[in-house]
Amino acid sequence: MKSSKPIRILVVEDNPDDEALLLRQLKNAQLDGQIRVIADGNRALNYLTDAKHKCEDLVAVFLNLNLPDVGGIRLLEAIRGADRLKHLPVIVMTSTNAQEELDKCRALGVSAYVRKPVSFSAFVKAVADTFHGRRDSISTTRMMPEMD
């Protein structure tokens, strides 16, 4: 059942273990309110660009760069290229150490870049850097394959 409250945090993550870890970290940081989890870049791109979704209610996107279909960098480019989304804080999560990827993320204005597995201290720092100590009480909604 979908929540009627607006989605505040979008998690774009295809690995169930990393998703569970991130959701636990969000709960530990008291940011476990209206969360939508989408497991692939194409579905995330469709969600973000579909005008029926109130993306202006989003306070952050947690984005895995290594996604099936549309990759994280492409999704980040789409976010930064859309007027209604370009202000949105994006926290990138990745297991790669590629300097080129890090440089591309910086050029696209990511709020934070966290290497996986995401430790609680790295998560807290990324959230603190992004929100400057602000805490929003944000029920967890999971995007299931049949829902769009």
Residues in the chain: 148
Residue-wise pLDDT for 100-126, tens only, equals 888 899 899 998 888 877 677 777 777
- The tally of CA atoms less than 13 A away on the side-chain side of residue 77 is 7
73-97 pLDDT, tens digit per residue, is 999 999 999 888 888 999 998 887 7
What CATH superfamily classification does 9-142 receive?
Response regulator (3.40.50.2300)
Q: Over the stretch 15-65, which tens digit does the pLDDT of each residue have?
A: 998 898 888 888 877 777 788 999 999 999 999 888 777 777 888 899 999
3-class secondary structure, 38? strand
